[in-house]
Amino acid sequence: MIWTVITFVIVLLVLKKFAFGPIQNMIDQRRQAIAESIEAAEETRREAERLLAEYRESIANAKREAEEIIERAHKVGESTKAEIVEEARQQAHKEVEDARKQVERETRKAIQELKDEIAELAILAAGKVASKSIDREDHLQLVNEALAEVDFDELASGGD
Amino acid sequence: MSAEGGNLNPADEFEHAVHPISIGGHELSFHVGPIDMSITTVVLYLWIAAALVVVLFVGLARVAKLMPDRKQVIIESFYEFIRDGLVGAAMPAEVIKTWFPYIATLFTFILFNNLIGLVPLPLSLIDEGWAKNLPEFKTYAATSNLNVTVTLALMTFVLTHYSGIKHNGAFRYFKNWVPTTAPLVMKPLLFILHGFSEIFKVVSLSVRLWANMLAGHIVILVFYSLIFMLSIELAFMALFIEAGVVAVSLFEIFVAGIQAFIFAILSAVYIGGAIHQEH
């Protein structure tokens, strides 16, 4: 009977000091560690979410900027194209105009030359016919008067 | 089994346990004043159980790590079962910390005493016949000795009233034994009745454990006795009987746990009830 008490009390004291205490400590420590881990994980998750949101925003911004740049480039291209086309058109127009003027000038010149030639020929012919009845100056006067009545413009436009 | 032939008597098997052990002819019989401190088989079994409990718990607690391995998980589950399922369920929250070591030790100590009662141990030598001086494997549980269970129950009894008086003061504690609404003439009678009920708590605690453990061993021994009694043109009958022993032993493991649990949780309830008295 006394041995039961002695044995029991020894077991009680030993367990209390060397088993229950350390086990409870270990459980408390583990609870603490787990709580800390959960807290840290939560913190990391929040950080990750924040970063993700940030990246999403910057990606959206970049996209929008890219679109703007493309849009702007597009517009610039359009206007450049229009400009070039317009310039080309003007250039072409100018060249056509120049060419026309050139032709006109050449025509006029040719007509003038033709007039002179005809006058010369007529004087020559008339000289031969009239055998110096009138002098050369009078002759030229007469021919020019006659030629003025001839409408060379019509001739020129017909040859245009 | 010490019995020769057909004369195994289950009732005799427990007689030897309370006699002092002899080593080399010297009886380990000690007396300190009126107190008998002899080393008997009962004491030996108490020590074996105590050593197992201490080695197991302290050993595992010493190597406890933050990241537990399997053994540690088992021991911690066991620990938390006692803390939350046994002490926590039966005692007021503020005294759990104080009383946990006592209740937990009670539970584990009784549990291991019950369980090693199912393991045949060679603690003595066969004293006669052809196998003289060979180790004799016997099963015995310290908790199948009434002295042990009464002692354990008395510890709970003393601690119950000690903590009741400590928490409530002696006068209020004993006053609360009697309902305040009772008629004055009935109060002394009710007080005496309550006193009896306190004493019978000791009886019920101790006898329940003792009788359960003893009965389990007797049933197992009766099965073995049948082998000798039916002896044994019918040798194969022994196989059936052995199967019966296995079945009863399995049931006894369950009983060992249940009885340890009942003893511990009732102790917790009694102590908790004395601290937080019903008025």
CA atoms of A3 and B151, how far apart (whole Å): 10
On the question of pLDDT at B4 being above 60, the answer is no
A35 touches chain B (CB under 8 A): no
Based on the structure, what is the number of domains in chain B?
1
Write out residues in chain A with pLDDT < 70, as ranges: 130-134, 151-160
Instruction: Give exposure, A64-100, as e/b (b: 16+ Cβ within 10 Å).
Output: eeeeeeeeeeeeeeeeeeeeeeeeeeeeeeeeeeeee
Cβ–Cβ gap A20/B35 under 8 Å: no
pTM: 0.69
- Identity of the residue numbered A11: V
Phi/psi zone of residue B278: left (φ > 0), alpha (ψ -120 to 50 degrees), beta?
Answer: beta
Cβ–Cβ gap B150/A26 under 8 Å: no
Cβ–Cβ gap B79/A20 under 8 Å: yes
DSSP B21: P
Domain that holds residue B258: 10-275
Residue with tokens 């098997």: B13
A85 touches chain B (CB under 8 A): no
Report pLDDT for B15.
66
- Residue B184 makes CB contacts below 8 A (sequence gap 6+) with none
State both tokens at A80. Answer: 């450049």
CA atoms of B144 and B140, how far apart (whole Å): 8
Kindly list the distances between the CA atom of residue A154 and the CA atoms of A15, A160, B219, in Å, as whole numbers in the listed order. Answer: 138, 10, 152
For residue B238, being part of any structural domain is answered with yes
Q: Where are the domains of chain A?
A: 20-158
- Identity of the residue numbered B98: T
Instruction: Give the dihedral of Cα atoms A27, A31, A32, A33; nearest 10 deg.
Output: 100
For residue B188, being part of any structural domain is answered with yes
Report pLDDT for B236.
74
Kindly list the distances between the CA atom of residue A111 and the CA atoms of A119, A151, A159, B129, in Å, as whole numbers in the listed order. Answer: 12, 11, 11, 167
Q: pLDDT tens across A65-101, in order?
A: 999 999 999 999 999 999 999 999 999 999 999 999 9
CB B122 within 8 A of CB B49: no
Residues of chain A found within 8 Å of residue B42, distances taken between Cβ atoms: 3
Closest-CA distance of chain A to residue B108, Å: 10
Is the ipTM reported for this complex over the cut 0.95? no
